[in-house]
């Protein structure tokens, strides 16, 4: 996935030179997002927000198909609500933003200052278990009221010291599901169902393969009994936690007072789950598929799937070329890809063809189509796929392209997944010794920004002390404990018996 040194690229630095900086430059060049004047926050631009809207719509359809419905809960949460669940508040305490006053007033020097202190501070939503639990405690009285299956699309605030567009920002967008169940088995099944939805969405819609499983105890969501996760590998071989689903047991029900009369007439606490996926997925997708010329978008989430570029070197042919472009766009919009009408744009801006072409390359639109006077004479178009070499073009008749566009989009979607899967497999290694493990995650030349490491499958005996030592030595953590019965062996760090291999990696 590297670019020859002699080849000029749209993005500088290239991935192999400085991957984190490459990512920041790609996000800006593609007009996905930009830093806000508020430190740690971002402005999501229309192209980036269009991607998020598609993700939101498609994921929401999957939730609704399994019986979940959307609601909305307050942005502000009384501080006392957090205090009810000690482990939860401890986990989020350093990330909370707190409102302490209700208004501003002008002081004697003419400066604005906070006035009228609140009797109880309000925490700006870092996650909603506590405030939603307060509502559920009112709604749930009997086993007949269960299950409660609710999701909300919202923004959250978690104070971020080292922001990175989409991946880590103080304010970000997400969905958070919160459910209550009659039995432990039902709640565990719910957490697993959502994990499967996240895995399928990421694989089929974003064309990103993932590892699935559970988090170790130290990596669990604060207050959870079990955290399930999907972990993606991006092109610098690091992991990104792409979505999590939490079995909360009865911890939050006890804290919020969510009780119901069971089938035997006795009072019982509900069994709850929570789960979420965020705008971090936009960054994950960029890091998984992008190249040194910009973003490469999977067609299923691209705001525009096909852009038509009129080539009008002479004014006397302009009207005829634009008419042909509009006619082709109309044909394409009448066709469907992945259960939706194909999204087509005719770029009519009065800009040079080369400038427009490069803008769409950087934005990652799946298919670019050029039509000029000579093409009209031959009844043909020039077609470029973003998953192929930038200068690669295929000439085909207008009718052939219009008929075959859905298949081309499907081919791009599958090709991106196959490419990412091959990369993941090539950079995942079974490791049998501590030395091999340390060598795998240690750069061979500290003076060169060399990409090294990947995902390591290694036996671990469950020791928290070992986990912390590896984190301190290498900045490597356990990303996934695969579900099910694994192959038993011996911990490569201690020699103690190990139930199975776990997945280790450096992460964002």
How far apart are the two ends of the chain, measured CA to CA in Å?
20
Buried b (16+ CB within 10 A) or exposed e, 183-222: eeeebbebbbbbbebbbebbbbbbbbbbbbbbbbeebbbb
What does the angle CA 504 – CA 507 – CA 508 come to, to the nearest 5 degrees? 165
Q: What per-residue confidence (pLDDT) applies to 448?
A: 47
The helices-and-strands tally (H runs, E runs) of the chain is 14, 27
The Cα 44–Cα 304 span in angstroms is: 17
Residues with Cβ within 8 Å of 319's Cβ and at least 6 positions away in sequence, in order, are none
Per residue, what are the HEC states of 235-250? CCCCEEEEEEEEEEEC
Q: Collapse the DSSP code of 149 into the 3-class scheme (helix H, G, I; strand E, B; otherwise coil) and give the result.
A: strand
Buried b (16+ CB within 10 A) or exposed e, 92-120: beeebeeeeeeeeeeeeeeeeeeeeeeee
Q: What per-residue confidence (pLDDT) applies to 279?
A: 98
Residues with Cβ within 8 Å of 135's Cβ and at least 6 positions away in sequence, in order, are 73
Residues with Cβ within 8 Å of 144's Cβ and at least 6 positions away in sequence, in order, are none
pLDDT along the chain (508 residues), means of 10: 61 94 97 96 98 98 98 96 78 89 91 94 95 97 98 96 93 98 98 98 98 96 96 97 97 96 98 98 98 98 98 90 97 96 96 91 98 96 97 96 98 98 97 96 62 89 96 97 93 97 97
Percentage of residues in the chain with pLDDT exceeding 70?
A: 97
Q: Which two tokens stand for residue 490?
A: 């011996």
Query: pTM surpassing 0.85?
Result: yes
CB 369 within 8 A of CB 328: yes
Q: Which two tokens stand for residue 300?
A: 């299923």
Kindly report, residue by residue over 443-496, the tens digit of the pLDDT.
775 444 445 689 999 999 999 999 999 999 999 999 999 998 889 999 999 999
CA 436 to chain centre: 31
Kindly report, residue by residue over 270-308, the tens digit of the pLDDT.
999 999 999 999 999 999 999 999 999 999 999 999 999
- Over its C-alpha atoms, the chain yields an Rg (Å, rounded) of 26
Nearest to 183 by CA among 114, 260, 254: 260
CB 70 within 8 A of CB 91: no
The Cα 290–Cα 299 span in angstroms is: 14
Q: What per-residue confidence (pLDDT) applies to 451?
A: 52
E strands within 324-414? 336-337, 340-341, 344-346, 367-371, 380-385, 394-397
Nearest to 179 by CA among 220, 141, 208, 150: 150
User: What is the set of domains in the chain, with CATH numbers?
Assistant: 19-77+129-289 (3.30.930.10), 299-419 (3.40.50.800), 428-505 (3.30.110.30)
Residues with Cβ within 8 Å of 286's Cβ and at least 6 positions away in sequence, in order, are 23, 26, 27, 30, 32, 166, 295
The Cα 202–Cα 197 span in angstroms is: 8
Q: What per-residue confidence (pLDDT) applies to 303?
A: 98
Q: Tell me the backbone φ, ψ of residue 428, rounded to 5 degrees.
A: -115, 125
Task: Tell me the pLDDT of the chain averaged across its residues.
Answer: 94
Kindly report, residue by residue over 83-120, the tens digit of the pLDDT.
887 777 777 888 999 999 999 999 888 899 999 999 99
The Cα 218–Cα 279 span in angstroms is: 24
């Amino acid at each position: 996935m590297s670019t020859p040194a002699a080849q000029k690229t749209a993005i500088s630095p290239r991935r192999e030179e400085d991957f984190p900086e490459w990512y920041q430059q790609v996000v800006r060049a593609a007009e996905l997002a930009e830093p806000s004047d508020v430190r740690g926050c971002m402005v999501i631009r229309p192209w980036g927000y269009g991607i998020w809207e598609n993700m939101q719509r498609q994921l929401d359809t999957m939730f609704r198909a399994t019986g979940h419905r959307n609601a909305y809960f307050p942005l502000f949460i009384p501080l006392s609500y957090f205090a009810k669940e000690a482990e939860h508040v401890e986990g989020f305490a350093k990330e909370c933003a707190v409102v302490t006053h209700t208004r501003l007033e002008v002081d004697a020097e003419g400066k604005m200052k906070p006035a009228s202190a609140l009797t109880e501070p309000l925490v700006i939503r870092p996650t909603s278990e506590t405030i939603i639990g307060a509502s559920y405690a009112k709604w749930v009285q009997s086993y007949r009221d269960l299950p409660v299956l609710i999701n909300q699309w919202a923004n959250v605030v978690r104070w971020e010291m080292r922001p990175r567009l989409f991946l880590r920002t103080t304010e970000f967008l997400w969905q958070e599901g919160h459910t209550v169940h009659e039995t432990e088995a039902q709640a565990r099944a719910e957490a697993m169902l959502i994990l499967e939805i996240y895995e399928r969405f990421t694989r089929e819609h974003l064309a990103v393969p993932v590892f699935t499983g559970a988090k170790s105890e130290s990596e669990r969501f604060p207050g959870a009994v079990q955290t399930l996760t999907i972990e993606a590998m991006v092109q610098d071989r690091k992991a990104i936690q792409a979505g999590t689903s939490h079995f909360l047991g009865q911890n939050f029900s006890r804290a919020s007072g969510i009780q119901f009369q069971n089938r035997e007439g006795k009072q019982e606490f509900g069994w709850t789950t929570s789960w979420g996926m965020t705008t971090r997925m936009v960054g994950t997708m960029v890091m998984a598929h992008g190249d040194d010329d910009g973003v490469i978008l999977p067609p299923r989430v691209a705001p525009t799937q096909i852009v038509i570029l009129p080539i009008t070197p002479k004014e006397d042919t302009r009207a005829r070329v634009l008419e042909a472009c509009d006619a082709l766009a109309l044909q394409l919009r009448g066709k469907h890809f992945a259960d939706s009408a194909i999204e087509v744009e005719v770029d009519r801006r009065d800009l040079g063809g080369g400038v427009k072409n490069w803008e769409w390359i950087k934005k990652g639109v799946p298919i670019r189509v050029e039509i000029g006077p000579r093409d009209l004479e031959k009844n043909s178009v020039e077609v470029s796929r973003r998953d192929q070499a930038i200068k690669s073009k295929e000439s085909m008749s207008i009718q052939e392209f219009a008929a075959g566009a859905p298949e081309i989009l499907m081919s791009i979607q599958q090709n991106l997944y196959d490419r990412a899967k091959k990369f993941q497999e090539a950079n995942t290694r079974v490791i049998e010794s501590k030395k091999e493990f340390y060598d795998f995650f240690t750069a061979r030349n500290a003076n060169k920004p060399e990409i090294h490491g990947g995902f390591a499958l290694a036996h671990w005996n469950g020791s928290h002390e070992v986990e912390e030592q590896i984190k301190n030595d290498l900045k490597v953590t356990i990303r996934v404990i695969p579900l099910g019965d694994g192959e038993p062996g011996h911990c490569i760090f201690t020699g103690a018996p190990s139930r199975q291999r776990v997945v280790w990696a450096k992460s964002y």
